[in-house]
A and B are shown apart, each in its own frame.
Chain A
Amino acid sequence: MIDFTQPTPVLLSEERQITETRRELVLNMGPQHPSTHGVLRVRLTLEGEMVVACDPVIGYLHRGVEKLGESHRYAQIVPWTDRTDYVAAPSNNLGYVLAVEKLCGIEAPERAQYWRMIMAELARIASHLVWLGTHALDIGALSVSLYTFRDRELILDIFEKFCGARLTTNMMEIGGFSRQIPPALPEMVRDFCRYLPKAIREYEDLLTENPIWLARTKGVGIVEPEIAISYSLTGACLRGSGVNYDVRKAMPYLLYDRIDFAVPLGTHGDVYDRYLVRVEEMRQSIRIIEQCLDQVPADGPLMAYESNYVIPPHERVMTTAEDMQRHFIWVIKGFSPPKGEVYHAVEHSKGELGYYIVSDGSPIPYRMRIRSPDFVNLQSLPYMAQGAMLADVVALIGTIDIVLGSVDR
């Protein structure tokens, strides 16, 4: 028998011989299951409807993004990062470009930094909306998912207006943005910020005080703060347990230290607290976006063109010889950052998203590693599922907020 008081009961199928006795039923949940959010496979050992052991099996969506990073030039990797967590693509772009900028010692212009913050927060809201919809759908609330996807469309419209793509945006570049901000965009974002609080209230009307929702989420999947830290959870999974750790506050990047916002912390560490935390995070994101819109300079450069690592602007290529040469080399060969290794983390909607890059001075990274938050958060599923009911497993997968593209990379 497993000692459940111990904090790390990660059960790999090799470690524990799951013998199917008369009382235990091994249920293979996924990879084609409507509520495993893609192609997660969970091997459940059930007694009646009670989960005795839970064994997540991942890798069905593995595309080797990290390995692909070792064969592409630095600027070519940005689109690959879109495809890891495709629900919040700009945040992935941000993590990668910040890591490379750190490696090269570039800093994007202030205006670009503000817009990066706006886009990252919009991506956070989009991701949380998808999470809320699917989580509610898993627990059985049918309508919420349609409302959240309806409102997510507004964010995708903003992305489309800015860069032409809706899902895999590929919007950020090393050094800033090479696109111009469309003049209508700030007003579009402001409209959205005015609209969303009403929509959030609508979701909360449906869920927050709903007795069935409370019964399904309160006291389910409790993760104590020590356990959360020992599993190295991040994001809402960690903050729902009441641990104060947010990369935006702990290791501020971009201009988050100029923004006034709060990090919501849960008090019970269950599914309901993580729900409350994420809903509150959406509101805080709106505050951040509004402050950014107030503070962002109306015009100014969006790209750190003074740096040698950045492709020169079009008009200089056409007028000066050395910029034309640089442009030629940049396009043909790529740029070569200095030797060294770098790690940079951003607060992704799911937790700490880190990019670790080793450079050997060549135009392609020697090694790229992605610390994707949901991959790490998923490891807490066996702990949370011990002794839960079958229906809870669905709620727990929902509360971890995984995107399999990011888990398997």
Chain B
Amino acid sequence: MAIEVLIFYLLAGVAIAAAAGVVLARNPVHSAVSLVLSFVNVAAIYVMLRAEFLAVAQVIVYTGAIIVLVLFVLMLVQQQDLPEFHGGRPLRRAVGFLLGLVLLAEVAAAILTRSLRGAPGSWPPEAVAAVGGNIQAIGRELYSVYMLPIQATALLLLAATVGALFLARPELIEERLAVARRLFTISLAHPRGVDPLQPVAELPGPHDNERKPAGGDRVLVMARNAEEFTEQPAWGEIRR
């Protein structure tokens, strides 16, 4: 069994070192990369703990989505304006590390003196293997016992989506209004063609201009002479 312990130490060591990198790195992007490394190692530890589905979910959700989003935001927020780690506040840093050490000591004491143990659960490895594997077991448990929580989670995610949409909607660039609301082509040679306010008295006959179906729903007006000036149905649509 020693090999497993070795692997665990390797993975845990990298995970902790990478986690320390998150806190210590000056550049937030380096922090994010460290975090990814930490998460992937933790995912590998999940596999050791017979939680394959969780391992994959960890990689997909945390590294594949959340950290990618963080990087996205980091890139939108420009680098040179980000506050530096070593920018003063030494007191708080000292207090932070001190608190951390104290807490670590406490937790270590708690773990080492732990005597309380709960009752064994109903999913020993044999039972999990009997239903087909970790995923199948989680599925069974999730969609029977935890039906209500999972629906609540779905609601939570929905609410989060709506909230994010509300938060992140950028102030739209002032929409340029469609200036043209008239129904004309203009002819530079036609006395009425350059003066849009005059009502159209007479329209050219069908022989004068031919409308040519061009592509899809578009037509092209085929002008035969320079004076031609035709009614057009298209102007007045608002852009986009």
Asked whether any CB of chain A lies closer than 8 Å to the CB of B229, the reply is yes
**Known A4-B174, A276-B214: A243·B220 in contact at CB below 8 Å:** no
Contact (Cβ within 8 A) A214 B222: no
Contact (Cβ within 8 A) B188 A265: no
**Known A22-B81, A52-B173: A267·B219 in contact at CB below 8 Å:** yes
Q: Which of B226, B229, B230, B232 has the most CB of A within 10 A?
A: B226
B179, B188, B214, B215: the one contacting A244 at CB < 8 Å is B188
Identify the closest chain A residue to B181 (Cβ): A224
**Known A1-B174, A387-B176: A222·B239 in contact at CB below 8 Å:** yes
In the bound complex, residues from chain A placing their C-beta under 8 Å from that of B98 are none
Asked whether any CB of chain A lies closer than 8 Å to the CB of B58, the reply is no
Hey, which bits of chain A sit against chain B, CB under 8 A? 1, 4-5, 7, 22, 47-48, 50, 52, 204, 208-209, 214, 219, 222, 224-227, 229, 242-246, 249-250, 262-269, 272-273, 276-277, 280, 386-387
Contact (Cβ within 8 A) A50 B173: yes
Instruction: Give the Cβ gap from A236 to chain B, nearest Cβ, in Å.
Output: 11
Identify the closest chain B residue to A276 (Cβ): B214
Contact (Cβ within 8 A) B77 A22: yes
Contact (Cβ within 8 A) A244 B226: yes
Instruction: Give the Cβ gap from A18 to chain B, nearest Cβ, in Å.
Output: 15
Instruction: Give the Cβ gap from B170 to chain A, nearest Cβ, in Å.
Output: 7
Asked whether any CB of chain A lies closer than 8 Å to the CB of B69, the reply is no
A52, A225, A244, A265: the one contacting B180 at CB < 8 Å is A225
In the bound complex, residues from chain B placing their C-beta under 8 Å from that of A386 are 173, 176
In the bound complex, residues from chain A placing their C-beta under 8 Å from that of B143 are none
Q: Which of B184, B194, B223, B225 has the most CB of A within 10 A?
A: B223
Instruction: Give the Cβ gap from B240 to chain A, nearest Cβ, in Å.
Output: 5
In the bound complex, residues from chain B placing their C-beta under 8 Å from that of A249 are 223, 225-226
Asked whether any CB of chain A lies closer than 8 Å to the CB of B177, the reply is yes
**Known A219-B239, A225-B235, A227-B179: A268·B218 in contact at CB below 8 Å:** yes
Number of interface residues of B (CB under 8 A): 47
Contact (Cβ within 8 A) B215 A208: yes
Q: Please report the C-alpha to C-alpha distance between residue A262 and residue B215 in the assembled complex, in whole angstroms.
A: 18
**Known A227-B179, A387-B176: A265·B221 in contact at CB below 8 Å:** yes
In the bound complex, residues from chain A placing their C-beta under 8 Å from that of B133 are none
Identify the closest chain B residue to A272 (Cβ): B218
B177, B196, B222, B235: the one contacting A264 at CB < 8 Å is B222
In the bound complex, residues from chain A placing their C-beta under 8 Å from that of B206 are none
Contact (Cβ within 8 A) A244 B232: no
Contact (Cβ within 8 A) B223 A5: no
Q: Please report the C-alpha to C-alpha distance between residue A52 and residue B171 in the assembled complex, in whole angstroms.
A: 13
Instruction: Give the Cβ gap from B157 to chain A, nearest Cβ, in Å.
Output: 25
In the bound complex, residues from chain A placing their C-beta under 8 Å from that of B229 are 244
In the bound complex, residues from chain B placing their C-beta under 8 Å from that of A269 are 180, 235
In the bound complex, residues from chain B placing their C-beta under 8 Å from that of A226 are 179-180, 186, 196
A1, A209, A244, A267: the one contacting B223 at CB < 8 Å is A244
Q: Please report the C-alpha to C-alpha distance between residue A261 and residue B175 in the assembled complex, in whole angstroms.
A: 39
Identify the closest chain A residue to B218 (Cβ): A276
Identify the closest chain B residue to A387 (Cβ): B173
Q: Please report the C-alpha to C-alpha distance between residue A386 and residue B76 in the assembled complex, in whole angstroms.
A: 21
Task: Please give 8 more A-B residue pairs, beta carbons under 8 A apart, in addition to A242-B186, A244-B188.
Answer: A4-B174, A244-B189, A245-B226, A265-B223, A266-B220, A267-B218, A269-B180, A269-B235
Instruction: Give the Cβ gap from B193 to chain A, nearest Cβ, in Å.
Output: 7
Q: Please report the C-alpha to C-alpha distance between residue A250 and residue B222 in the assembled complex, in whole angstroms.
A: 15
Asked whether any CB of chain A lies closer than 8 Å to the CB of B237, the reply is yes
